[in-house]
């Protein structure tokens, strides 16, 4: 996500502060500052960032359950590590539009889906028995991944507006405030973004239980 | 659900996005309520490992110290260079010490009172061998060689008192050299005469 100016600036993190705000009470602006401070090397901010990222293994666990448990626990541990590294590598793109856990959730979805796709492309292993088949992903998860892929193909601003509207349930006034624009512009931009998403999804079609191009 | 289908009582795509958003919120909430998950205990360690592999980033204060030290070192180096510039070769020309400016000529001694100088000096191109000789001019264009010719790869020829002891009061110093392309450069001459 691109950095946007509408987020109010909170007080800087202070490692001498004896009463730090609990991570669950942090606002988006807090998260944005936390990201900046962590990237700049603040040990205190990095500690708080690590606390904030404890959601990652939990999200992966829930997503794995929704997909029909294709991954075992040791594989989920690997995926958690991979996701955390990817989140840290991309942290400079975090713009504070959504909370940091919400932002991290998308990485969990992407890493999990990517690993699942690569597993499905692999030839069947002789080590796998009939008693331990790879569960097929549910129809719902495929549809969701399809929409998420389409969202990822949109321009950043378009995807931001759609996510803020439908995933964060913000009103156009709230979206406008967060993106630093008039609400009429937010509404018009949203309609355009929706049309682009519709066009993108239109290049795909349903085939059986899944979507293909 | 086909997003390409025409709307019937509302936009299907928007409804699908709402469903997706709702599902995600439920999944996030469910995740946040999980007491444990595979890899949960390793979150800090994984991130600390990543941070440990990063090149150390300098704090703003350390950055200022670094640049300050660099500026001081640069200033010290410049000062040292200015104070230790190579001393130009001393040549006793008519106006005192001179730099070799590359112009081929014999330098006239600063003082010729009662004794000959202790060296013959000249300027000219570097990297060539000069031929130096001292003669006494005689009537009818004749001359008597007092010294040389001596081959010198430099810009001066020392003169001992033993050498100059027998010289007359007036002598001519000739210096010549061969260019790198082989051509002989005509000699430059300077006439020295003792006052007493």
Q: Please list every residue in chain B whose beta carbon sits closer than 8 Å to the beta carbon of residue A107.
A: none
CB contact under 8 Å between A101 and B42, yes or no, is no
Query: CA nearest B4 in A: which residue?
Result: A202
Give the number of other Cβ atoms within 10 Å of residue A97's Cβ.
26
Q: Which residues of B touch A165 (CB under 8 A)?
A: 17
| Confidence check: pLDDT of B4 > 50 | no
On the question of pLDDT at B10 being above 70, the answer is no
pLDDT tens digits, A114-125: 888 887 776 554
Query: Which among B40, B57, B59 is the nearest to A58, CB-wise?
Result: B40
Interface test with A, best of B25, B31, B44 (most A CBs within 10 A): B31
Lowest mean pLDDT among A31-40, A70-79, A111-120: A111-120
Chain B residue with minimal CA distance to A162?
Answer: B17
Q: How far is B8 from chain A (nearest CA, A)?
A: 15
CA angle A93, A94, A97 (to 5 degrees): 130
Q: Stretch A122-138: mean pLDDT, rounded?
A: 49
pLDDT of residue B143: 85
pLDDT-based confidence at B142, cuts 50/70/90? Answer: confident
Cα separation of A116 and A204, whole Å? 20
Q: pLDDT tens digit string along B98-130?
A: 456 678 888 888 877 778 888 898 888 888 888
> Is pLDDT at A210 greater than 90 in this prediction?
no
The top-scoring range by mean pLDDT among A38-47, A128-137, B60-69, B75-84 is A38-47
Residue A97 has pLDDT above 50, yes or no: yes
The answer to whether A202 contacts B13, with C-beta atoms less than 8 Å apart, is: no
Say how far apart CA A146 and CA B116 lie, in whole Å: 103
- Tokens coding A71: 């991954």
Mean residue pLDDT across chain B: 80
Banded pLDDT at A147 (limits 50, 70, 90): confident
* CA geometry: angle B52, B56, B58, nearest 5 deg: 145
Q: What is the pTM of this model?
A: 0.55
Q: Is B78's pLDDT higher than 70?
A: yes
Write down the pLDDT at residue B86.
56
Backbone phi, then psi, for B110, in 5-degree steps? -65, -30
- What is the number of other CB atoms lying within 10 angstroms of the CB of residue A181? 17
User: What are the φ/ψ torsions at residue A84 (nearest 5 degrees)?
Assistant: -60, -40
pLDDT above 90 covers a percentage of chain B that reads 23
**Prior bond of A2 cis (ω within 30°):** no
Return the structure tokens found at A48. Answer: 């708080």
Cα separation, B10 vs B17, whole angstroms: 13
Tell whether the model's pLDDT for residue B179 goes beyond 90: no
Check residue A148 and give its pLDDT. Answer: 81
B132 and B158 in contact (C-beta within 8 Å)?
no
Share of residues in chain B with pLDDT > 70 (%): 82
Average pLDDT of B132-145? 86
Which residue of A63, A73, A198 is in closest CB contact with B38? A73
| Mean pLDDT, range B58-79, rounded to an integer | 81
Question: What ipTM, to 2 d.p.?
Answer: 0.74
Tabulate helix, strand, coil % of chain A (nearest 5): 65, 5, 35
Question: What is the model's pLDDT at position A146?
Answer: 78
Q: Cα separation of A107 and A140, whole Å? A: 19
Contact B39 A81 (CB under 8 A): yes
Inter-chain CB proximity B42 and A194 less than 8 Å:
no
Mean pLDDT of chain A: 79
Is the confidence at residue B178, as pLDDT, over 80? yes
A55, A80, A143: residue with CB nearest B38 = A80
């Amino acid at each position: 996500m691109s950095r946007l100016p509408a987020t109010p600036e909170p007080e800087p993190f202070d490692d001498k502060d004896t009463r730090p705000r609990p991570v669950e009470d942090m606002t988006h602006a807090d998260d944005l500052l936390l990201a900046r401070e962590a990237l700049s090397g603040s040990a205190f901010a990095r500690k708080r960032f690590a606390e904030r990222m404890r959601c990652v293994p939990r999200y992966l666990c829930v997503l794995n359950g929704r997909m029909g448990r294709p991954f075992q626990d040791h594989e989920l541990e690997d995926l958690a590590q991979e996701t955390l590294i990817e989140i840290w590598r991309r942290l400079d793109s975090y713009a504070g539009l959504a909370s940091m856990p919400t932002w991290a959730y998308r990485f969990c979805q992407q890493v999990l889906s990517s690993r699942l796709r690569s597993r499905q492309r692999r030839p069947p292993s002789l080590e796998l028995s009939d008693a331990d088949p790879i569960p097929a992903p549910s129809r719902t998860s495929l549809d969701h991944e399809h929409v998420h892929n389409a969202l990822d193909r949109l321009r950043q601003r378009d995807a931001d507006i759609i996510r803020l509207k439908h995933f964060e349930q913000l009103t156009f006034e709230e979206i406008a405030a967060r993106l630093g624009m008039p609400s009429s512009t937010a509404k018009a931009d949203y309609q355009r973004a929706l049309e682009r998403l519709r066009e993108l999804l239109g290049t795909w079609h349903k085939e059986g239980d899944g979507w293909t191009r | 659900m086909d997003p390409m289908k025409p709307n019937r009582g509302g936009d299907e795509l928007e409804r699908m996005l709402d469903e997706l958003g709702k599902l995600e919120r439920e999944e996030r909430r469910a995740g946040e309520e999980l007491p444990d998950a595979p890899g949960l205990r390793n979150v800090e360690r994984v991130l600390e490992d990543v941070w440990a592999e990063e090149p150390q980033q300098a704090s703003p204060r350390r950055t200022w110290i670094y640049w300050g030290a660099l500026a001081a070192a640069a200033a010290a180096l410049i000062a040292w260079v200015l104070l230790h510039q190579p001393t130009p070769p001393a040549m006793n020309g008519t106006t005192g010490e001179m730099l070799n400016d590359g112009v081929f000529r014999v330098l006239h001694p600063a003082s010729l009172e009662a004794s000959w100088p202790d060296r013959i000096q000249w300027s000219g191109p570097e990297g060539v061998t000069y031929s130096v000789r001292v003669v006494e001019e005689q009537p009818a264009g004749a001359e008597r060689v007092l010294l040389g010719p001596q081959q010198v790869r430099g810009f001066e020829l020392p003169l001992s008192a033993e050498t100059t002891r027998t010289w007359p009061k007036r002598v001519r110093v000739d210096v010549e050299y061969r260019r790198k392309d082989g051509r002989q450069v005509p000699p430059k001459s300077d006439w020295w005469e003792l006052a007493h």
